[in-house]
């Protein structure tokens, strides 16, 4: 088979969740499949070194202007030119018209749940992107040969919402990369600590400006925590906009909290394990996740994780995280204090977390996706 894989944003320097999932899939396919021929379509950008061509893997750089034009025009034309027998689009959307069977990974359908142009909390770039998804995804799903999603939670929601046949929808779990692990190399930990000017002990929150990340409630919880703790720890937040942060702190009536929050800027995925390994508690009480890879990353690095009792997070954490109601900041505070004061609970979460994270591998994910390709190619 000649298999096309969409990876429009693979080469951008600051990769996000869906970009990393696509990259890990391709890397694993390169190790397990020497029979089929692959054509990976990506937009030119700075980080070309993240992916190398191999004998049966061709990297095709496609110009094409805006995201919608690239996806709806340049991508299907390139897939046709290279005579692809199927095209796998990896990041929720896909061409609405393609001349070959289409596999699409729909990570989530959050944009279908609120009208995105007017939903509060989003900036205009996010609103326009969600509006595009809202228009494209139902049409793509209708014509796709196979739809992949990333958890049974999301599979159930999509099945109900789109009335999808069971044989066209499949849940394939994400993995956790092997470099997320307990680090024993003290020199490496020191290097990361010095590079990002890490405190000796800190709480770590991996959020962004998307409302689903629950940043305002996490900061409200942190405000409460600082008032109640005898020796409160600083909070580390990577790659967060300072203006947006100040606005939230003003809204929660604690602008002085900024003195205890450290913004690191963007942290490359390869250096995230060094951050996880040195934090005291990892906070991930998101409002809504279709999977939640950072939960597993934190667990794999041997750190206690606080996450939500909502959406897919109980499914993914599998009893190895401290679950809280994301709508209740006081429960987040309670979780922090319990983990810090109860050594047995802390050790139990760490032990269970490492074991739970080991159950999710990109190799397993790639094998399941390859079976889908073979099924379509029969």
What are the pLDDT digits (tens) for 25-63? 999 999 999 999 999 999 999 999 999 999 999 999 999
Percent of the chain with pLDDT over 70: 97
What does the pLDDT read at residue 6?
97
Domains in the chain, ordered, with CATH?
2-175+361-377 (3.40.50.2000), 186-357 (3.40.50.2000)
185-206: average pLDDT? 97
Distance CA 302, CA 349 (A): 9
113-137: average pLDDT? 74
- Among the listed residues 293, 286, 280, 288, the one whose alpha carbon sits nearest the alpha carbon of residue 349: 280
Distance CA 30, CA 199 (A): 40
Q: Is the pLDDT of residue 114 over 70?
A: no
Q: Is the pLDDT of residue 121 over 70?
A: no
What does the pLDDT read at residue 113?
76
Residues 6+ apart with CB under 8 A from 14: 239, 266
Question: What 8-state DSSP symbol labels residue 70?
Answer: I
- pTM, full prediction: 0.92
pLDDT confidence of 122, banded at 50, 70, 90? low
Q: Is the dihedral of CA 312, 278, 236, 224 positive or negative?
A: positive
Q: What is the mean pLDDT of the chain?
A: 94
pLDDT confidence of 279, banded at 50, 70, 90? very high
Q: Is the pLDDT of residue 275 over 70?
A: yes
What does the pLDDT read at residue 273?
98
- Among the listed residues 241, 203, 208, 246, the one whose alpha carbon sits nearest the alpha carbon of residue 225: 203
Distance CA 107, CA 148 (A): 8
pLDDT confidence of 239, banded at 50, 70, 90? confident
Q: Picking from 116-120, 150-154, 212-216, 257-261, which range would have the lowest pLDDT averaged per residue?
A: 116-120
């Amino acid at each position: 088979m000649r298999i096309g894989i969409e990876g429009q944003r693979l080469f951008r320097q600051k990769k996000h969740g869906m970009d990393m999932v696509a990259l890990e899939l391709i890397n694993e396919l390169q190790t397990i499949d020497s029979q089929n021929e692959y054509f990976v379509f990506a937009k030119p950008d700075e980080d070309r070194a993240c992916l190398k061509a191999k004998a049966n893997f061709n990297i095709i750089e496609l110009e094409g202007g805006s995201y919608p034009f690239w996806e709806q025009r340049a991508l299907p034309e390139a897939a046709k030119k290279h005579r692809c027998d199927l095209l796998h689009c990896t990041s929720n959307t896909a061409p609405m018209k393609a001349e070959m069977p289409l596999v699409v990974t729909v990570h989530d359908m959050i944009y279908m749940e609120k009208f995105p142009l007017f939903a509060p909390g989003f900036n205009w770039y996010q609103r326009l992107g969600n509006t595009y998804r809202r228009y494209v995804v139902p049409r793509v799903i209708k014509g796709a040969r196979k739809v992949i999603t990333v958890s049974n939670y999301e599979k159930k929601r999509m099945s109900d919402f789109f009335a999808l046949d069971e044989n066209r929808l499949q849940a394939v779990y994400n993995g956790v990369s092997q470099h997320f692990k307990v680090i024993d190399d003290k020199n490496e930990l020191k290097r990361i600590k010095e590079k990002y000017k890490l405190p000796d002990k800190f709480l770590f929150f991996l959020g962004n400006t998307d409302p689903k990340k629950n940043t305002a409630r996490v900061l409200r919880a942190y405000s409460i925590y600082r008032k109640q703790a005898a020796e409160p720890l600083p909070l580390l937040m990577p790659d967060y906009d300072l203006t947006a942060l100040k606005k939230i702190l003003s809204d929660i009536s604690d602008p002085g909290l900024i003195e205890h929050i450290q913004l690191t800027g963007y942290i490359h995925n390869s250096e995230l394990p060094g951050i996880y390994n040195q934090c005291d508690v990892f906070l991930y009480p998101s409002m809504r996740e279709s999977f939640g890879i950072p939960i597993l990353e934190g667990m794999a690095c041997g750190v206690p994780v606080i996450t939500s009792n909502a959406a897919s997070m109980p499914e993914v954490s599998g009893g190895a995280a401290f679950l809280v109601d994301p709508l209740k900041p006081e429960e987040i505070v309670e979780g922090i204090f319990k983990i810090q004061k109860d050594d047995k609970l802390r050790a139990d979460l760490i032990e269970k977390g490492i074991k739970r994270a080991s159950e999710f591998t990109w190799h397993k994910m790639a094998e399941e996706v390859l079976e889908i390709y073979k099924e379509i190619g029969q």
